[in-house]
Amino acid sequence: MASITLRSTSTTAIAILLLASVALPGPVVANKDHDALTALKNGLQDPTGELNNWNPYSTDPCTWTHVECDNITKRVIRLDLGFRKLSGHLAPELGNLDQLEYMEIHQNNIQGTIPAELGNLKNLISLTLYNNNLSGHIPPSLGELQALKYLRLEHNNLSGPIPRELVGLSNLMILDLSNNDLCGTIPRSGAFQNIPLTSFANNPRLKDPELPGAGNNDNNC
Ligand SMILES: *[C@@H]1O[C@H](CO)[C@@H](O)[C@H](O)[C@H]1NC(C)=O
Ligand SMILES: *[C@@H]1O[C@H](CO)[C@@H](O)[C@H](O)[C@H]1NC(C)=O
Ligand SMILES: *[C@@H]1O[C@H](CO)[C@@H](O)[C@H](O)[C@H]1NC(C)=O
């Protein structure tokens, strides 16, 4: 009886060891960027073939056009897709590019919402999505991007209030939310103290800047 129990226990132990070795990290990390970019491509229409060499069967996205990797870690740090006649939507899997520093997708015709998953990009320095056709709310999760210096979302169709979470972006230097359909009041505390009011222009439903010490007024917004 005891020996049978022992044998089945060691079989289980071997099975666990085998599973563990299969799950060890290795090229898995490189595939994470590959899979995220493939999901992005699948959500876009690309009439001029800018993404033609984003081949799902080539495992190294560092060789793809408009993509830049860190030379040492081989992780994607930059995505340069500005002014490329792209339409479609932004895949939520973009939030898996966790080493990304620059996401430049401005001056296209991208629709749909800004994925809340972009709040996972802890190394992001620049997020430029201006001059597209994005709608829906600005995700409050963008307030988690503590490395962010440049946030340009102007000339879209974004609605809802300006998330108060954004005033905590302590490295923010440039913010532009102008020419959208935002509503409520303009925060003036924290990172927003030095942002010029022109960065909020042409949002017909946006009310006055908040007075120091006064709360926000996003009622019915
Ligand atoms: C990475 O390699 C490229 C090509 O060899 C080079 O131009 C670039 O300066 C390198 N970048 C860094 C950060 O070393
Ligand atoms: C912008 O997106 C809306 C849907 O949100 C669509 O109805 C409209 O046609 C788009 N505008 C352009 C110029 O593609
Ligand atoms: C902006 O989005 C609203 C829905 O939120 C839609 O009804 C409207 O057509 C859009 N405007 C443009 C110019 O795409």
Q: How far is CA 11 from CA 1, 8, 19, 31, in A?
A: 16, 5, 12, 32
For 40, the token pair is: 């992005």
CATH classification for the domain delimited by 28-209, as one of 3.80.10.10, 3.40.50.1220, 3.40.50.300, 3.90.1150.10: 3.80.10.10
Cα distance between residue 144 and residue 155, in whole Å:
23
- Residue located nearest, by CA, to atom 10 of ligand 2: 133
Q: What is the pLDDT of residue 65?
A: 97
Most ligand 3 atoms within 8 A of CB, residue of 157, 159, 202, 203 to mutate: 157
Q: How far is CA 112 from CA 23, 79, 135, in A?
A: 36, 19, 6
Ligand in closest contact with the CA of 108: 2
Domains of the chain by residue range: 28-209
Identify which of 116, 123, 109, 131 has the alpha carbon closest to the alpha carbon of residue 179: 131
What is the 74 CA–ligand 1 centroid distance (Å)?
11
Q: How far is CA 194 from CA 173, 187, 188, 218, in A?
A: 8, 11, 8, 21
Identify which of 216, 210, 218, 215 has the alpha carbon closest to the alpha carbon of residue 193: 210
- Residue 135 near ligand 3, beta carbon < 6 Å: yes
Most ligand 2 atoms within 8 A of CB, residue of 111, 135, 156 to mutate: 111
What is the 68 CA–ligand 1 centroid distance (Å)?
10
Most ligand 3 atoms within 8 A of CB, residue of 135, 182, 205 to mutate: 135
**Contact between 106 and 132 (Cβ < 8 Å):** yes
Tell me which H or E stretch contains 32.
helix 28-43
Please identify, by atom number, the ligand 3 atom nearest to the C-alpha of residue 157: 1
Q: What is the pLDDT of residue 99?
A: 98
- Residue 111 near ligand 3, beta carbon < 6 Å: no
What is the 65 CA–ligand 1 centroid distance (Å)?
15
Can you give the pLDDT of all 221 residues of the chain as single tens digits?
A: 344 444 444 444 434 444 444 444 444 444 899 999 999 999 999 999 999 999 988 889 999 999 999 999 999 999 999 999 999 999 999 999 999 999 999 999 999 999 999 999 999 999 999 999 999 999 999 999 999 999 999 999 999 999 999 999 999 999 999 999 999 999 999 999 999 999 999 999 998 787 776 667 777 78
Cα distance between residue 175 and residue 45, in whole Å:
28
